[in-house]
Amino acid sequence: MTKPPWLRRATRAARALLATGTTAVLAAGLLTATATTSQAATQAPCDIYAAGGTPCVAAHSTTRALYAAYNGPLYQVRRASDSATKDINPLTTGGYANAAAQDSFCAGTSCLITVIYDQSGKGNSLTQAPKGAFSGPAAGGNDNLANAVEAPVTVGGHQAYGVYVAPGTGYRNNHTSGIATGDQPEGMYAIFDGTHFNGGCCFDYGNAETSSTDTGNGHMEAIYFGNSNFWGSGSGNGPWVMADLENGLFSGAGTGNNPGDPSVASRFLTAAVKGGPNQWAIRSGNAQSGGLATDYSGVRPNASGYNPMHKEGSIILGIGGDNSNASAGTFYEGVMTSGYPSDATENAVQANITAAGYSSAATSTGALTPGSRISLQATTAPCCTSHYLRHDDADSKVVISPISSASSATDKADAGWIVRAGLANSSCLTFESANQPGRFLRHYAFQLYLDADDGGSNFAQDATFCATTGNSGTGRSFQSVNYPAKYLRHYNYTGYLAADGGSNSWDATASWAQDTSWLTAAPWS
Ligand code: AHR
Ligand code: AHR
């Protein structure tokens, strides 16, 4: 088969690098080469793996090219308004994703990520995971697709989007080529949002069954990230990077708890797993700085069925091998290799990752633009002008309360919101809690709550509000996308979705215009 031009160039680059000698020399050289922006594009993770003799056989990213010479599509989005699809490419060869192309294509509607293309040339792209032993929530028992705006990020100063896996979301490829099977050696890494996880089974990226069913111990080898302690765990309360080897999440040589595997806490997490004959390792690090720690490296687990392994070579993202789909997480990029990568090769990849510049910093404060941090101040006088919309620590309700510079750090943080593109309409807005990332302002039974996304289209609608001129003539009002006659309102110091006159007590006409008008203020947190 003729290789595409970018792959031919990548192979040539890899060969040239291999000619430089040992992996240690190579790694040291790469650390220097990736340290400056101008040279960053000369090496990408898969060039480094190729040079180390363990080439990528799958390379997935919605944020950037993983080969310096890659200029094909990164991912595909489908918009709700007319079901049209669009491929999102790198801005330049080897560069960052053209997120602006997604923004304009999805303006005024919502988009799902339909394909995460394989950049390796092996055709191992990821698409909607089909029903397995467990059904997903989408039609036919398939899993949901990720909302394309739910994991915004900047990489090297460029806006991009990750893959936001709410429970029920999953991607898979059961017909791969070149992925390890049986006891063959392989490696893999992924970059995750280290603050977005849960204890459901199983937020995985890696090698799984081709049947989407549990075919027994040792039939998987995937990176797991989350705080499930049902099978295995590490030190502290999690979350942990573990290996999903089927019928068990492993954190070391034994089943159950292995205290050598640390809880991890960075916003951007590099997680790596590799495995070969009676040998495997877990490594992790902060994807913004520093190196990779080795959390485990040694022999295969002592439970039966894991030595030798029985890998099947399908690829999963966000789910377990049998399509268990109760898990949550966010994926930015990841690869799988042929062969067991050396620690030096992985260290060089980590240096490339930290040089790439992942960031979640606010783009501004006090503005109603996605990425900005704000607080929302009530305008109703005289009761409420020192009150701000905040979540309530006692429950998941959203209320207003007075906040001032003298307020506690918790109260201030509870009144901080990160403006996001609207989950159900990217031209409207969604508000994410500043101190509870992954939880969003939404209405339910016309009251306001702070909730995690359950992956359903109802949630996206319940969490999307369109900014309008304030109903009182002051500030802004926020109109519900699924109940356009209703707006964000405070009533008796509690948050509601209210019409101007209606059947609920909080639809009362008196003060409605003021109660639904808010000032966007600099954030209290
Ligand atoms: O190994 C943990 C999980 O167990 C796997 O992901 C799944 O296939 C099985 O339910
Ligand atoms: O808040 C009104 C509706 O109540 C929401 O759309 C729905 O999630 C719930 O039934």
Give the tens place of pLDDT for each residue, 260-293: 999 999 999 999 999 999 999 999 999 999 999 9
What's the pLDDT band for 219 if we cut at 50, 70, 90? very high
Q: What is the mean pLDDT of residues 90-106?
A: 98
- Give the C-alpha separation, 52 to 22, whole Å: 9
DSSP string, 292-314: EEEEEEESPPSSTT-SS--B--E
According to DSSP, residue 139 is labeled: G
Q: Which ligand is nearest to the CA of 488?
A: 2
Classify the C-alpha dihedral 47-48-50-51 as positive or negative. positive
**CA 462 to ligand 2 centroid distance, Å:** 7
Q: Of 320, 359, 418, which Cα lies nearest the Cα of 154?
A: 359
- Which pLDDT belongs to residue 480? 98
Give the CA distances from residue 336 to residues 49, 189, 251, in Å, rounded to whole numbers and listed in that order: 10, 7, 20
Q: Above 90 in pLDDT, residue 31?
A: no
| CA contacts within 13 A on the Cβ side of 364 | 7
Q: Which ligand is nearest to the CA of 443?
A: 2
Nearest-10 crossing angle of helices 23-33, 343-356: 10
Give the tens place of pLDDT for each residue, 392-443: 988 999 999 999 999 999 999 999 999 999 999 999 999 999 999 999 999 9
What's the pLDDT band for 51 if we cut at 50, 70, 90? very high
- Give the C-alpha separation, 148 to 199, whole Å: 23
Report whether 165 contacts 318 (CB < 8 A).
yes
Q: Which atom of ligand 2 is nearest to the CA of 443?
A: 1
- Which pLDDT belongs to residue 525? 77
What's the pLDDT band for 4 if we cut at 50, 70, 90? very low
pTM score, whole prediction: 0.91
Among 221, 246, 312, 453, the active-site one is 246
Least confident window among 10-19, 140-149, 225-234, 479-488:
10-19
Report whether 387 contacts 401 (CB < 8 A).
yes
**CA 343 to ligand 2 centroid distance, Å:** 51
| CA contacts within 13 A on the Cβ side of 520 | 20
In one-letter notation, the amino acid at residue 52 is G
Q: Which atom of ligand 1 is nearest to the CA of 321?
A: 8
* Residue nearest to ligand 2 atom 10, measured at CA: 445
* Residue nearest to ligand 2 atom 4, measured at CA: 445
First to last CA, the chain: 56
- Which pLDDT belongs to residue 7? 45
Give the CA distances from residue 341 to residues 52, 189, 225, 262, 283, in Å, rounded to whole numbers and listed in that order: 7, 11, 20, 22, 12
- Which pLDDT belongs to residue 42? 84
Q: Which residues line ligand 1 (CB under 6 A)?
A: 201-202, 214, 244, 246-249, 320-322, 324
Q: Above 90 in pLDDT, residue 486?
A: yes
- Which pLDDT belongs to residue 378? 98
- Which pLDDT belongs to residue 393? 86
Q: Above 70 in pLDDT, residue 491?
A: yes
Q: Which atom of ligand 2 is nearest to the CA of 458?
A: 8
The residues, ordered by sequence, that sit 6+ positions from 327 with a Cβ below 8 Å of its Cβ are 165, 167, 198, 200, 201, 202, 203, 204, 226, 228, 318, 319, 320
What's the pLDDT band for 300 if we cut at 50, 70, 90? very high
Please confirm, yes or no, whether 246 is among the known catalytic residues.
yes
Q: Above 90 in pLDDT, residue 360?
A: yes
Residue written as tokens 């034994």?
254
- Which pLDDT belongs to residue 5? 44
CA-based R_g, the chain, Å: 24
Tokens describing residue 41:
């594009």
**CA 145 to ligand 2 centroid distance, Å:** 22
- Which pLDDT belongs to residue 28? 35
Report whether 163 contacts 331 (CB < 8 A).
yes
Report whether 442 contacts 458 (CB < 8 A).
no
Q: Which atom of ligand 1 is nearest to the CA of 204?
A: 6
Q: Which ligand is nearest to the CA of 499?
A: 2
**CA 64 to ligand 1 centroid distance, Å:** 30
User: In this prediction, what percent of the chain has a pLDDT beyond 70?
Assistant: 92
Q: Above 80 in pLDDT, residue 20?
A: no
Give the CA distances from residue 88 to residues 28, 41, 214, 377, in Å, rounded to whole numbers and listed in that order: 33, 19, 34, 38
| CA contacts within 13 A on the Cβ side of 31 | 13
The residues, ordered by sequence, that sit 6+ positions from 447 with a Cβ below 8 Å of its Cβ are 397, 494, 495, 496, 497
- Between 57 and 31, the more confident residue is 57
Q: Of 259, 218, 260, 495, which Cα lies nearest the Cα of 384?
A: 495
Q: What is the mean pLDDT of residues 355-363?
A: 94
- Which pLDDT belongs to residue 385? 98
**CA 304 to ligand 2 centroid distance, Å:** 48
CA angle 292, 176, 212 (to 5 degrees): 90
